[in-house]
Structure 1
Protein backbone atom coordinates (compact mmCIF):
# COMPACT_ATOMS: atom_id res chain seq x y z
CA UNK A 1 0.00 0.00 0.00
CA UNK A 2 1.39 3.43 -0.91
CA UNK A 3 1.26 6.24 1.61
CA UNK A 4 1.31 9.92 0.69
CA UNK A 5 3.79 11.63 3.00
CA UNK A 6 2.60 14.54 5.08
CA UNK A 7 4.13 17.99 4.50
CA UNK A 8 6.36 17.53 7.53
CA UNK A 9 7.55 14.17 6.26
CA UNK A 10 8.30 15.68 2.85
CA UNK A 11 10.37 18.46 4.37
CA UNK A 12 12.50 15.96 6.26
CA UNK A 13 13.15 13.73 3.25
CA UNK A 14 16.72 13.38 2.06
CA UNK A 15 15.94 14.13 -1.62
CA UNK A 16 18.24 16.92 -2.93
CA UNK A 17 15.29 18.70 -4.59
CA UNK A 18 11.87 19.52 -3.29
CA UNK A 19 10.03 19.39 -6.64
CA UNK A 20 7.59 22.03 -5.44
CA UNK A 21 10.27 24.52 -4.47
CA UNK A 22 11.00 27.20 -7.03
CA UNK A 23 14.28 28.11 -5.34
CA UNK A 24 15.44 24.49 -5.39
CA UNK A 25 14.71 24.19 -9.11
CA UNK A 26 16.56 27.44 -9.80
CA UNK A 27 19.55 26.22 -7.80
CA UNK A 28 19.68 22.93 -9.69
CA UNK A 29 19.40 24.62 -13.08
CA UNK A 30 22.01 27.22 -12.23
CA UNK A 31 24.42 24.52 -11.08
CA UNK A 32 23.93 22.80 -14.45
CA UNK A 33 24.97 25.99 -16.25
CA UNK A 34 21.58 27.36 -17.29
CA UNK A 35 22.16 31.09 -17.70
CA UNK A 36 18.49 32.01 -17.39
CA UNK A 37 17.76 29.62 -14.53
CA UNK A 38 15.01 31.75 -12.96
CA UNK A 39 13.08 32.09 -16.21
CA UNK A 40 13.47 28.41 -17.03
CA UNK A 41 12.35 27.38 -13.57
CA UNK A 42 9.20 29.45 -13.91
CA UNK A 43 8.39 27.78 -17.24
CA UNK A 44 9.02 24.28 -15.89
CA UNK A 45 6.96 24.89 -12.77
CA UNK A 46 4.04 26.18 -14.82
CA UNK A 47 4.22 23.29 -17.30
CA UNK A 48 4.50 20.36 -14.90
CA UNK A 49 1.22 18.72 -13.91
CA UNK A 50 2.53 17.21 -10.70
CA UNK A 51 5.75 16.97 -8.63
CA UNK A 52 6.83 13.73 -10.31
CA UNK A 53 6.58 15.24 -13.77
CA UNK A 54 8.44 18.34 -12.62
CA UNK A 55 11.27 16.20 -11.28
CA UNK A 56 11.58 14.42 -14.63
CA UNK A 57 11.51 17.69 -16.55
CA UNK A 58 14.16 19.27 -14.35
CA UNK A 59 16.39 16.21 -14.71
CA UNK A 60 16.06 16.24 -18.51
CA UNK A 61 17.04 19.90 -18.59
CA UNK A 62 19.95 19.36 -16.21
CA UNK A 63 21.45 16.63 -18.41
CA UNK A 64 21.31 18.87 -21.45
CA UNK A 65 18.01 18.49 -23.29
CA UNK A 66 16.88 21.74 -24.94
CA UNK A 67 14.36 23.57 -22.80
CA UNK A 68 11.94 23.59 -25.74
CA UNK A 69 12.06 19.79 -26.01
CA UNK A 70 11.47 19.49 -22.27
CA UNK A 71 8.48 21.84 -22.42
CA UNK A 72 7.23 20.44 -25.72
CA UNK A 73 7.00 23.89 -27.32
CA UNK A 74 8.99 26.91 -28.41
CA UNK A 75 7.93 30.55 -28.60
CA UNK A 76 8.26 32.00 -32.09
CA UNK A 77 6.88 35.41 -33.09
CA UNK A 78 4.39 35.24 -30.25
CA UNK A 79 3.17 31.75 -31.14
CA UNK A 80 3.58 28.58 -29.12
CA UNK A 81 5.09 26.09 -31.59
CA UNK A 82 4.96 22.39 -30.72
CA UNK A 83 8.47 20.90 -30.79
CA UNK A 84 8.91 17.19 -30.12
CA UNK A 85 12.16 15.53 -29.06
CA UNK A 86 14.68 15.44 -31.88
CA UNK A 87 13.00 18.18 -33.91
CA UNK A 88 14.89 21.34 -34.85
CA UNK A 89 14.06 24.18 -32.45
CA UNK A 90 13.13 27.42 -34.29
CA UNK A 91 15.67 30.15 -33.57
CA UNK A 92 14.66 33.64 -32.57
CA UNK A 93 16.91 35.15 -35.26
CA UNK A 94 14.79 33.38 -37.88
CA UNK A 95 11.91 35.68 -36.94
CA UNK A 96 13.72 38.21 -39.17
CA UNK A 97 13.15 35.91 -42.16
CA UNK A 98 9.42 35.78 -41.44
CA UNK A 99 9.39 39.56 -41.01
CA UNK A 100 10.89 39.97 -44.48
CA UNK A 101 8.46 37.49 -46.01
CA UNK A 102 5.45 39.16 -44.38
CA UNK A 103 6.44 42.50 -45.91
CA UNK A 104 6.39 40.90 -49.37
CA UNK A 105 3.34 38.65 -49.12
CA UNK A 106 -0.14 39.76 -50.19
CA UNK A 107 -3.40 38.27 -48.91
CA UNK A 108 -4.08 34.96 -50.63
CA UNK A 109 -0.41 34.37 -51.49
CA UNK A 110 0.66 30.80 -52.23
CA UNK A 111 3.40 30.02 -49.70
CA UNK A 112 5.74 27.02 -49.68
CA UNK A 113 7.89 26.30 -46.62
CA UNK A 114 10.73 23.92 -47.56
CA UNK A 115 12.83 22.24 -44.86
CA UNK A 116 9.93 23.32 -42.68
CA UNK A 117 10.99 21.55 -39.49
CA UNK A 118 8.30 22.22 -36.91
CA UNK A 119 6.42 24.43 -39.37
CA UNK A 120 7.19 27.56 -37.34
CA UNK A 121 7.88 29.80 -40.33
CA UNK A 122 4.72 28.87 -42.19
CA UNK A 123 2.61 29.12 -39.06
CA UNK A 124 4.03 32.56 -38.21
CA UNK A 125 3.56 33.89 -41.73
CA UNK A 126 0.04 32.51 -41.90
CA UNK A 127 -0.76 34.28 -38.65
CA UNK A 128 -0.05 37.73 -40.10
CA UNK A 129 -0.96 37.37 -43.79
CA UNK A 130 -4.60 36.71 -44.56
CA UNK A 131 -5.79 33.67 -46.46
CA UNK A 132 -2.38 32.28 -47.37
CA UNK A 133 -2.41 28.98 -49.23
CA UNK A 134 0.29 27.23 -47.24
CA UNK A 135 2.23 24.13 -48.25
CA UNK A 136 5.19 22.77 -46.26
CA UNK A 137 7.63 19.90 -46.68
CA UNK A 138 10.38 18.20 -44.71
CA UNK A 139 12.34 14.99 -45.05
CA UNK A 140 12.23 14.22 -41.30
CA UNK A 141 9.07 12.29 -40.26
CA UNK A 142 9.21 13.66 -36.69
CA UNK A 143 9.33 17.22 -38.01
CA UNK A 144 6.42 16.54 -40.36
CA UNK A 145 4.29 15.34 -37.45
CA UNK A 146 5.02 18.57 -35.56
CA UNK A 147 4.41 20.76 -38.59
CA UNK A 148 0.99 19.22 -39.20
CA UNK A 149 -0.06 20.23 -35.69
CA UNK A 150 1.43 23.70 -35.91
CA UNK A 151 -0.03 24.80 -39.22
CA UNK A 152 -3.43 23.22 -38.81
CA UNK A 153 -4.74 26.58 -37.64
CA UNK A 154 -4.03 28.17 -41.02
CA UNK A 155 -5.26 25.10 -42.90
CA UNK A 156 -1.81 24.34 -44.26
CA UNK A 157 -0.77 21.06 -45.84
CA UNK A 158 2.45 19.25 -44.97
CA UNK A 159 4.26 16.73 -47.14
CA UNK A 160 7.03 14.30 -46.23
CA UNK A 161 9.91 14.10 -48.65
CA UNK A 162 13.06 15.67 -50.05
CA UNK A 163 12.69 19.37 -50.91
CA UNK A 164 10.34 19.85 -53.88
CA UNK A 165 9.83 16.15 -54.54
CA UNK A 166 6.63 15.66 -52.47
CA UNK A 167 4.96 18.94 -53.51
CA UNK A 168 1.93 18.85 -55.85
CA UNK A 169 2.99 19.49 -59.44
CA UNK A 170 0.10 21.97 -59.70
CA UNK A 171 2.11 24.40 -57.54
CA UNK A 172 4.75 24.94 -60.21
CA UNK A 173 4.77 28.53 -61.38
CA UNK A 174 2.24 29.60 -58.70
CA UNK A 175 4.34 30.15 -55.57
CA UNK A 176 4.49 33.75 -54.38
CA UNK A 177 6.66 33.18 -51.31
CA UNK A 178 9.13 30.29 -51.07
CA UNK A 179 10.62 29.98 -47.59
CA UNK A 180 13.61 27.66 -47.31
CA UNK A 181 15.18 27.45 -43.87
CA UNK A 182 17.87 25.12 -45.20
CA UNK A 183 20.67 23.70 -43.04
CA UNK A 184 23.77 25.83 -43.60
CA UNK A 185 26.35 24.65 -41.05
CA UNK A 186 29.43 23.17 -42.81
CA UNK A 187 29.84 19.48 -42.00
CA UNK A 188 33.16 19.98 -40.20
CA UNK A 189 31.60 22.63 -37.95
CA UNK A 190 28.58 20.64 -36.77
CA UNK A 191 30.72 19.26 -33.95
CA UNK A 192 31.33 22.82 -32.74
CA UNK A 193 27.65 23.52 -32.18
CA UNK A 194 26.29 23.66 -28.62
CA UNK A 195 25.45 20.17 -27.27
CA UNK A 196 21.75 21.03 -27.21
CA UNK A 197 21.81 21.25 -31.01
CA UNK A 198 24.36 18.65 -32.09
CA UNK A 199 23.09 15.94 -29.73
CA UNK A 200 19.37 16.57 -29.53
CA UNK A 201 18.38 17.94 -32.95
CA UNK A 202 18.24 15.96 -36.17
CA UNK A 203 21.55 16.25 -38.03
CA UNK A 204 19.70 16.59 -41.32
CA UNK A 205 18.40 19.94 -40.03
CA UNK A 206 21.91 21.23 -39.28
CA UNK A 207 24.43 19.80 -41.75
CA UNK A 208 24.69 21.82 -44.95
CA UNK A 209 27.52 19.84 -46.53
CA UNK A 210 31.17 20.68 -47.10
CA UNK A 211 30.72 24.46 -47.31
CA UNK A 212 27.25 24.61 -45.75
CA UNK A 213 25.54 25.41 -49.06
CA UNK A 214 24.83 21.98 -50.57
CA UNK A 215 21.11 21.98 -49.77
CA UNK A 216 20.76 25.64 -50.68
CA UNK A 217 22.17 25.05 -54.18
CA UNK A 218 19.60 22.32 -54.74
CA UNK A 219 16.84 24.72 -53.67
CA UNK A 220 18.02 27.60 -55.87
CA UNK A 221 18.54 25.36 -58.89
CA UNK A 222 14.80 24.62 -59.12
CA UNK A 223 13.25 27.63 -57.42
CA UNK A 224 12.43 29.51 -60.65
CA UNK A 225 10.28 26.60 -61.85
CA UNK A 226 8.07 26.83 -58.76
CA UNK A 227 7.91 30.59 -58.29
CA UNK A 228 5.28 32.71 -59.97
CA UNK A 229 6.55 35.70 -61.97
CA UNK A 230 7.64 38.20 -59.33
CA UNK A 231 7.65 35.48 -56.67
CA UNK A 232 10.36 35.45 -54.01
CA UNK A 233 12.64 32.88 -52.46
CA UNK A 234 13.82 33.73 -48.93
CA UNK A 235 16.36 31.88 -46.82
CA UNK A 236 18.68 32.49 -43.89
CA UNK A 237 22.44 32.20 -44.15
CA UNK A 238 25.58 33.23 -42.29
CA UNK A 239 27.30 36.54 -43.02
CA UNK A 240 30.40 34.84 -44.42
CA UNK A 241 28.31 32.73 -46.81
CA UNK A 242 26.45 35.67 -48.34
CA UNK A 243 28.59 36.09 -51.50
CA UNK A 244 28.28 32.40 -52.35
CA UNK A 245 24.58 32.32 -51.50
CA UNK A 246 23.94 35.31 -53.78
CA UNK A 247 25.85 33.56 -56.55
CA UNK A 248 23.72 30.43 -56.15
CA UNK A 249 20.53 32.49 -56.37
CA UNK A 250 21.74 34.31 -59.48
CA UNK A 251 22.80 31.04 -61.10
CA UNK A 252 19.22 29.84 -60.55
CA UNK A 253 17.89 32.69 -62.68
CA UNK A 254 16.69 34.93 -59.85
CA UNK A 255 17.55 38.51 -58.96
CA UNK A 256 19.39 38.34 -55.63
CA UNK A 257 19.82 40.69 -52.69
CA UNK A 258 20.70 40.32 -49.00
CA UNK A 259 19.32 42.07 -45.93
CA UNK A 260 20.61 41.91 -42.36
CA UNK A 261 19.63 42.80 -38.82
CA UNK A 262 22.61 43.33 -36.54
CA UNK A 263 20.53 43.25 -33.38
CA UNK A 264 19.08 39.82 -34.22
CA UNK A 265 22.37 38.66 -35.78
CA UNK A 266 20.35 37.55 -38.81
CA UNK A 267 21.04 37.61 -42.53
CA UNK A 268 18.42 36.79 -45.14
CA UNK A 269 18.90 36.39 -48.87
CA UNK A 270 15.96 37.18 -51.15
CA UNK A 271 15.77 35.94 -54.72
CA UNK A 272 13.08 37.31 -57.05
CA UNK A 273 11.88 35.64 -60.23
CA UNK A 274 11.71 38.30 -62.96
CA UNK A 275 8.15 39.18 -63.92
Structure 2
Protein backbone atom coordinates (compact mmCIF):
# COMPACT_ATOMS: atom_id res chain seq x y z
CA UNK A 1 0.00 0.00 0.00
CA UNK A 2 1.12 3.53 -0.72
CA UNK A 3 -0.19 6.57 1.08
CA UNK A 4 -0.42 8.37 -2.22
CA UNK A 5 -1.77 7.30 -5.58
CA UNK A 6 0.57 9.74 -7.34
CA UNK A 7 3.05 8.14 -9.70
CA UNK A 8 5.37 9.29 -12.47
CA UNK A 9 3.72 10.49 -15.67
CA UNK A 10 2.47 7.39 -17.53
CA UNK A 11 4.18 6.28 -20.72
CA UNK A 12 2.37 6.93 -24.00
CA UNK A 13 -0.04 4.16 -24.92
CA UNK A 14 0.94 2.32 -28.12
CA UNK A 15 -1.96 2.50 -30.59
CA UNK A 16 -1.90 -1.26 -31.14
CA UNK A 17 -2.59 -1.90 -27.46
CA UNK A 18 -5.35 0.68 -27.38
CA UNK A 19 -6.92 -1.00 -30.39
CA UNK A 20 -6.77 -4.45 -28.75
CA UNK A 21 -8.36 -3.17 -25.55
CA UNK A 22 -11.03 -1.20 -27.38
CA UNK A 23 -11.91 -4.26 -29.46
CA UNK A 24 -12.33 -6.21 -26.21
CA UNK A 25 -14.87 -3.66 -24.99
CA UNK A 26 -12.69 -1.60 -22.63
CA UNK A 27 -14.38 1.81 -22.49
CA UNK A 28 -11.30 3.59 -21.15
CA UNK A 29 -8.87 1.79 -23.42
CA UNK A 30 -6.30 4.60 -23.65
CA UNK A 31 -6.12 5.12 -19.88
CA UNK A 32 -5.90 1.37 -19.28
CA UNK A 33 -3.20 0.97 -21.90
CA UNK A 34 -1.08 3.66 -20.23
CA UNK A 35 -1.38 1.91 -16.87
CA UNK A 36 -0.45 -1.45 -18.35
CA UNK A 37 2.57 0.01 -20.18
CA UNK A 38 3.74 1.68 -16.98
CA UNK A 39 3.35 -1.52 -14.96
CA UNK A 40 4.99 -3.99 -17.34
CA UNK A 41 8.69 -4.66 -16.89
CA UNK A 42 9.26 -6.37 -20.24
CA UNK A 43 7.50 -6.51 -23.63
CA UNK A 44 6.54 -10.12 -22.93
CA UNK A 45 4.96 -9.17 -19.61
CA UNK A 46 3.09 -6.31 -21.28
CA UNK A 47 1.72 -8.65 -23.92
CA UNK A 48 0.56 -11.09 -21.24
CA UNK A 49 -1.09 -8.30 -19.23
CA UNK A 50 -2.90 -6.94 -22.27
CA UNK A 51 -4.07 -10.44 -23.18
CA UNK A 52 -5.44 -11.05 -19.66
CA UNK A 53 -7.26 -7.73 -19.70
CA UNK A 54 -8.68 -8.38 -23.18
CA UNK A 55 -9.89 -11.77 -21.94
CA UNK A 56 -12.00 -9.97 -19.33
CA UNK A 57 -9.90 -10.02 -16.16
CA UNK A 58 -10.55 -6.84 -14.13
CA UNK A 59 -7.88 -4.22 -14.70
CA UNK A 60 -7.11 -4.15 -10.98
CA UNK A 61 -6.41 -7.88 -10.96
CA UNK A 62 -4.10 -7.50 -13.95
CA UNK A 63 -2.20 -4.62 -12.36
CA UNK A 64 -2.19 -6.13 -8.87
CA UNK A 65 -3.53 -2.96 -7.28
CA UNK A 66 -6.61 -0.76 -7.03
CA UNK A 67 -6.87 2.95 -6.33
CA UNK A 68 -9.23 3.78 -3.48
CA UNK A 69 -9.59 7.06 -1.59
CA UNK A 70 -6.14 8.17 -2.73
CA UNK A 71 -4.48 4.91 -1.72
CA UNK A 72 -2.96 2.22 -3.90
CA UNK A 73 -4.11 -1.10 -2.46
CA UNK A 74 -2.86 -4.58 -3.29
CA UNK A 75 -5.50 -6.74 -4.99
CA UNK A 76 -5.01 -10.40 -5.87
CA UNK A 77 -6.96 -12.17 -8.63
CA UNK A 78 -10.20 -13.48 -7.19
CA UNK A 79 -10.47 -10.77 -4.52
CA UNK A 80 -13.29 -8.21 -4.49
CA UNK A 81 -12.20 -4.88 -5.98
CA UNK A 82 -13.18 -1.86 -3.80
CA UNK A 83 -15.70 0.39 -5.58
CA UNK A 84 -15.49 4.18 -5.84
CA UNK A 85 -18.97 4.50 -4.28
CA UNK A 86 -17.63 2.99 -1.06
CA UNK A 87 -15.56 6.15 -0.62
CA UNK A 88 -18.81 7.73 0.57
CA UNK A 89 -18.96 5.23 3.44
CA UNK A 90 -15.36 6.08 4.32
CA UNK A 91 -16.18 9.79 4.52
CA UNK A 92 -19.11 9.13 6.84
CA UNK A 93 -16.98 6.91 9.07
CA UNK A 94 -14.01 9.30 9.05
CA UNK A 95 -16.22 12.00 10.54
CA UNK A 96 -16.80 9.69 13.53
CA UNK A 97 -13.24 8.40 13.90
CA UNK A 98 -11.09 10.23 16.42
CA UNK A 99 -7.37 9.65 17.11
CA UNK A 100 -6.99 6.52 19.22
CA UNK A 101 -10.32 5.07 18.04
CA UNK A 102 -10.83 1.33 17.81
CA UNK A 103 -12.16 0.52 14.34
CA UNK A 104 -13.47 -2.82 13.05
CA UNK A 105 -13.78 -3.41 9.29
CA UNK A 106 -16.11 -6.35 8.63
CA UNK A 107 -16.26 -8.15 5.27
CA UNK A 108 -13.02 -6.27 4.73
CA UNK A 109 -11.92 -7.64 1.36
CA UNK A 110 -8.66 -5.86 0.61
CA UNK A 111 -8.85 -3.96 3.90
CA UNK A 112 -9.74 -0.84 1.93
CA UNK A 113 -12.03 0.71 4.52
CA UNK A 114 -9.64 0.24 7.41
CA UNK A 115 -6.70 1.53 5.38
CA UNK A 116 -8.61 4.58 4.18
CA UNK A 117 -9.82 5.43 7.68
CA UNK A 118 -6.30 5.11 9.06
CA UNK A 119 -5.06 7.47 6.35
CA UNK A 120 -7.86 9.98 6.98
CA UNK A 121 -7.63 10.04 10.77
CA UNK A 122 -5.95 12.98 12.50
CA UNK A 123 -3.88 10.55 14.56
CA UNK A 124 -3.18 6.83 14.94
CA UNK A 125 -6.14 4.48 15.25
CA UNK A 126 -6.43 0.80 16.11
CA UNK A 127 -7.69 -1.18 13.12
CA UNK A 128 -9.10 -4.70 13.19
CA UNK A 129 -10.38 -6.31 9.97
CA UNK A 130 -12.21 -9.56 9.24
CA UNK A 131 -13.01 -11.55 6.13
CA UNK A 132 -14.07 -15.13 5.51
CA UNK A 133 -12.04 -15.42 2.29
CA UNK A 134 -8.37 -16.44 2.77
CA UNK A 135 -7.24 -14.56 -0.37
CA UNK A 136 -8.89 -11.37 0.90
CA UNK A 137 -7.23 -11.82 4.27
CA UNK A 138 -3.82 -12.04 2.59
CA UNK A 139 -4.46 -8.80 0.71
CA UNK A 140 -5.79 -7.03 3.78
CA UNK A 141 -2.72 -8.01 5.79
CA UNK A 142 -0.50 -6.45 3.13
CA UNK A 143 -2.57 -3.29 2.92
CA UNK A 144 -2.93 -2.79 6.67
CA UNK A 145 0.60 -3.70 7.74
CA UNK A 146 1.81 -0.12 7.44
CA UNK A 147 -0.79 1.11 9.95
CA UNK A 148 -0.40 -1.85 12.31
CA UNK A 149 -3.82 -3.29 11.45
CA UNK A 150 -4.75 -6.77 12.62
CA UNK A 151 -6.60 -9.02 10.18
CA UNK A 152 -8.57 -12.13 11.10
CA UNK A 153 -9.97 -14.93 8.94
CA UNK A 154 -13.48 -15.96 9.90
CA UNK A 155 -17.18 -15.14 9.94
CA UNK A 156 -18.00 -11.55 10.90
CA UNK A 157 -17.43 -10.96 14.63
CA UNK A 158 -16.51 -14.57 15.47
CA UNK A 159 -12.69 -14.30 15.17
CA UNK A 160 -12.36 -10.93 16.92
CA UNK A 161 -10.61 -10.92 20.30
CA UNK A 162 -13.12 -11.00 23.16
CA UNK A 163 -11.25 -8.08 24.74
CA UNK A 164 -12.73 -5.81 22.06
CA UNK A 165 -16.29 -6.32 23.31
CA UNK A 166 -17.73 -2.99 24.42
CA UNK A 167 -14.61 -1.09 23.25
CA UNK A 168 -15.19 -0.55 19.53
CA UNK A 169 -15.77 3.05 18.46
CA UNK A 170 -16.58 2.38 14.81
CA UNK A 171 -17.76 -0.76 13.04
CA UNK A 172 -17.74 -0.26 9.29
CA UNK A 173 -18.96 -2.81 6.76
CA UNK A 174 -19.46 -3.09 3.03
CA UNK A 175 -21.04 -6.56 3.10
CA UNK A 176 -22.40 -8.51 0.15
CA UNK A 177 -25.83 -7.07 -0.63
CA UNK A 178 -26.66 -8.24 -4.15
CA UNK A 179 -29.81 -10.43 -4.16
CA UNK A 180 -29.00 -13.95 -5.33
CA UNK A 181 -31.32 -13.66 -8.33
CA UNK A 182 -29.45 -10.53 -9.48
CA UNK A 183 -25.94 -12.02 -9.49
CA UNK A 184 -26.34 -13.05 -13.12
CA UNK A 185 -27.09 -9.44 -14.06
CA UNK A 186 -23.77 -8.13 -12.78
CA UNK A 187 -21.03 -7.17 -15.27
CA UNK A 188 -18.91 -10.17 -16.30
CA UNK A 189 -15.87 -8.72 -14.52
CA UNK A 190 -17.71 -9.06 -11.21
CA UNK A 191 -19.70 -12.25 -11.63
CA UNK A 192 -16.86 -14.20 -13.28
CA UNK A 193 -13.81 -12.92 -11.44
CA UNK A 194 -14.87 -11.85 -7.96
CA UNK A 195 -15.82 -14.31 -5.21
CA UNK A 196 -19.53 -15.01 -4.89
CA UNK A 197 -19.20 -14.77 -1.11
CA UNK A 198 -18.33 -11.07 -1.57
CA UNK A 199 -21.36 -10.40 -3.76
CA UNK A 200 -24.28 -12.67 -2.84
CA UNK A 201 -26.42 -11.28 -0.04
CA UNK A 202 -29.12 -13.95 -0.15
CA UNK A 203 -32.72 -13.82 -1.33
CA UNK A 204 -33.27 -10.11 -0.64
CA UNK A 205 -29.60 -9.16 -0.44
CA UNK A 206 -29.73 -8.50 3.29
CA UNK A 207 -28.79 -11.83 4.88
CA UNK A 208 -25.26 -10.74 5.84
CA UNK A 209 -26.33 -7.15 6.54
CA UNK A 210 -28.82 -8.36 9.15
CA UNK A 211 -26.15 -10.45 10.87
CA UNK A 212 -23.72 -7.51 10.91
CA UNK A 213 -26.40 -5.34 12.48
CA UNK A 214 -27.55 -7.95 15.00
CA UNK A 215 -24.06 -8.39 16.43
CA UNK A 216 -22.96 -4.78 16.56
CA UNK A 217 -24.30 -3.70 19.94
CA UNK A 218 -22.26 -6.36 21.75
CA UNK A 219 -19.02 -4.86 20.43
CA UNK A 220 -19.67 -1.13 20.29
CA UNK A 221 -18.59 1.19 23.08
CA UNK A 222 -21.31 3.53 24.38
CA UNK A 223 -21.61 6.25 21.76
CA UNK A 224 -19.91 4.02 19.17
CA UNK A 225 -21.32 3.72 15.68
CA UNK A 226 -22.04 1.06 13.08
CA UNK A 227 -21.89 2.14 9.43
CA UNK A 228 -23.19 -0.21 6.73
CA UNK A 229 -23.14 0.27 2.97
CA UNK A 230 -26.30 -0.77 1.19
CA UNK A 231 -28.24 -0.01 -1.97
CA UNK A 232 -30.88 2.70 -2.21
CA UNK A 233 -33.65 0.11 -2.56
CA UNK A 234 -32.47 -1.76 0.54
CA UNK A 235 -31.72 1.27 2.70
CA UNK A 236 -35.16 1.40 4.33
CA UNK A 237 -35.10 -2.23 5.46
CA UNK A 238 -31.50 -1.87 6.62
CA UNK A 239 -32.41 1.19 8.69
CA UNK A 240 -35.32 -0.72 10.25
CA UNK A 241 -32.97 -3.54 11.24
CA UNK A 242 -30.50 -1.09 12.79
CA UNK A 243 -33.28 0.58 14.79
CA UNK A 244 -34.58 -2.79 16.00
CA UNK A 245 -31.07 -3.53 17.26
CA UNK A 246 -31.41 -0.60 19.67
CA UNK A 247 -29.20 1.85 17.79
CA UNK A 248 -30.06 5.46 17.06
CA UNK A 249 -30.44 5.35 13.31
CA UNK A 250 -29.91 7.69 10.40
CA UNK A 251 -29.73 7.17 6.66
CA UNK A 252 -27.45 9.13 4.36
CA UNK A 253 -26.82 8.96 0.64
CA UNK A 254 -24.89 10.46 -2.27
CA UNK A 255 -26.84 10.57 -5.52
CA UNK A 256 -23.77 11.33 -7.62
CA UNK A 257 -21.99 8.17 -6.45
CA UNK A 258 -25.22 6.14 -6.16
CA UNK A 259 -24.12 5.38 -2.60
CA UNK A 260 -26.18 4.76 0.53
CA UNK A 261 -25.10 4.20 4.11
CA UNK A 262 -27.05 3.43 7.25
CA UNK A 263 -25.51 4.64 10.50
CA UNK A 264 -26.51 3.39 13.94
CA UNK A 265 -25.12 4.73 17.21
CA UNK A 266 -25.22 2.90 20.54
CA UNK A 267 -26.81 5.24 23.09
CA UNK A 268 -24.76 6.37 26.06
CA UNK A 269 -26.46 5.19 29.27
CA UNK A 270 -28.12 8.01 31.22
CA UNK A 271 -26.33 9.16 34.35
TM-score range, shorter chain: over 0.9
Cα deviation, residue 158, structure 1:
0.2
Corresponding position of 1:24: 16
Corresponding position of 1:208: 201
Corresponding position of 2:7: none
Q: 2:47 aligns with which of 39, 42, 55?
A: 55
| Cα offsets for 1:98-155 (capped at 9, x unmatched) | 0111111111000000000000110010011121010000000000000000011110
CA distance in 1, matches of 2:244, 2:13: 58
Unpaired runs of 5+ residues, structure 2, are 1-11
TM-score normalised to the size of structure 2?
0.93
Q: Secondary structure at the match of 2:204?
A: coil
Kindly indicate whether residue 232 of structure 2 is the aligned counterpart of residue 242 of structure 1: no
Give the structure with higher Rg (CA).
Answer: 1
Alignment of 1:111-122 (within 5 A): 111-122=103-114
Q: 1:107 aligns with which of 80, 90, 99?
A: 99
Cα deviation, residue 21, structure 1:
6.7
Q: Secondary structure at the match of 1:28?
A: helix
CA distance in 1, matches of 2:255, 2:213: 25
Q: 2:83 aligns with which of 56, 69, 91?
A: 91
TM-align CA RMSD? 0.9
CA distance in 2, matches of 1:69, 1:44: 11
Query: Contact (CA 8 Å) 2:13, 2:30: kept in 1 or not?
Result: no
CA distance in 1, matches of 2:13, 2:85: 33
Corresponding position of 1:125: 117
CA distance in 2, matches of 1:217, 1:151: 27
Count of matched residue pairs: 256
Q: Secondary structure at the match of 2:72?
A: strand
Kindly indicate whether residue 145 of structure 2 is the aligned counterpart of residue 152 of structure 1: yes
